[in-house]
Chains A and B, each alone.
Chain A
């Protein structure tokens, strides 16, 4: 690797890395919001909430993310909506991964033991209160490992935003390659960067899992679930 290449490529790739991180963060926020909206929507008692949520989830899981991204970027203008490349990319990424995560939300909430639900009813808690105070907090530990997988997926899929001209890491790598060649170095460098980022996310999720673990051995159980029992001065 010549020093020419290093001094030219480093700032470009760093800028690309920042864009990749930005897309990951924005995409994750949108995905989590989407996941809870659609996941809880599918658990609704009302058909007119449940069905649209189901259609949304199946459509976004059933079509390819690449198709969705290009659709938001190239087909929406036909309806007079012209999105910035970054907006189209984040929208497609967040909604797509959100649809996958919605199934996680739905699955882990509906697999809570019936006893918890019945106890709530016995205590006279309404549906919303039951959800908010008991079922969702209890389901979060079960959601975390699959959510971690979705986040790693999301990070890897941010590379696709380069195809709709967002200048992320993969896009900059292609640019550097066009300018200077050094194909092997450039692509191997970004491959390693993506790998490190995904390991960081996996590590972070493991940490969250331990922090929010429900089983009694884990220290943080009551604190994490936000249910400090009366008179218990910590565990």
Chain B
């Protein structure tokens, strides 16, 4: 049993359909990760008693546990408590929250890189806290961390393959479905790998360029 070109061509459309789902999961998941991560970072930075510590633990816990098990819990445990969502929606929320713990750390690094003088100036001008964050701190903090967020976007794209385990039909799910129905795994799995590479490699090159472009000029 070796490579069969005709078979490979015949399954390509289905796999491309799977890739499209993977891309959608990644984009939606990234949106969640960016927003939740930012909220978590700001809350942790604000030193609210108990709450900040709790979110610190959230970050540590999510980063210390496997995405697969988190997905299992969301998919198998939550329905027992009346929370039932589609596999796709569950997958997107799980991967988004999973990455929010990582993006929170990225934002935190960006926020702590903002010079103290900026905080002091905002205080001297008696700007309200909300405006200090939105107009002074975050614009400076986010700019420098864009490339790192981009790296996590690429990482999430590849990690989303895990979600086939909770029956999300993305690229990997389609590849395995083709494999089990045709008893040929070589072509679908190889093409799936190639498609992942085809998207992720140029993306990370692009991010590398962006990194150089956005690097703060010293």
Contacts and interface: CB of A to CB of B under 8 A. Distances in A.
Interface of A: 58-59, 61-68, 70-71, 74-75, 77-79, 152, 156-160, 162-163, 170, 173-174, 177, 183-184, 187-188, 190-191, 194-195, 198-199, 202
Contacts of A202: 64
A209 B201 CA distance: 32
Nearest to A181: B80
B69 A198 contact: no
B64 A177 contact: no
B169 interface: no
B65 A68 contact: no
B54 interface: no
Interface of B: 1-3, 61, 63-70, 72-73, 76-77, 80, 158-159, 161-162, 164-165, 172, 175-176, 179, 184-186, 189-190, 192-194, 196-197, 200-201, 204
Contacts of B2: 78-79
A162 B69 CA distance: 11
A152 B102 CA distance: 14
Contacts of B172: 64, 66-67, 70
B76 A187 contact: yes
Contacts of A191: 65, 69-70, 73
Contacts of A199: 64
A183 B76 contact: yes
Nearest to A79: B2
Contacts of B164: 66
Contacts of A187: 69, 72-73, 76-77
A71 B176 CA distance: 10
A29 to B, nearest CB: 20
A67 B161 contact: yes
SS of A interface (majority):
helix
A195 B70 CA distance: 11
Nearest to B176: A70
Nearest to A190: B69
A50 to B, nearest CB: 18
Given A78-B185, A157-B66, A64 B193 contact: yes
A183 B72 CA distance: 9
A160 B68 contact: yes
B80 A184 contact: yes
A64 B159 contact: yes
Given A68-B193, A162-B68, A198-B64, 19 more contacts: A63-B194, A63-B200, A67-B175, A67-B189, A70-B172, A71-B190, A75-B185, A75-B189, A77-B1, A78-B1, A156-B64, A157-B66, A163-B68, A163-B165, A177-B76, A187-B69, A187-B72, A191-B65, A195-B61
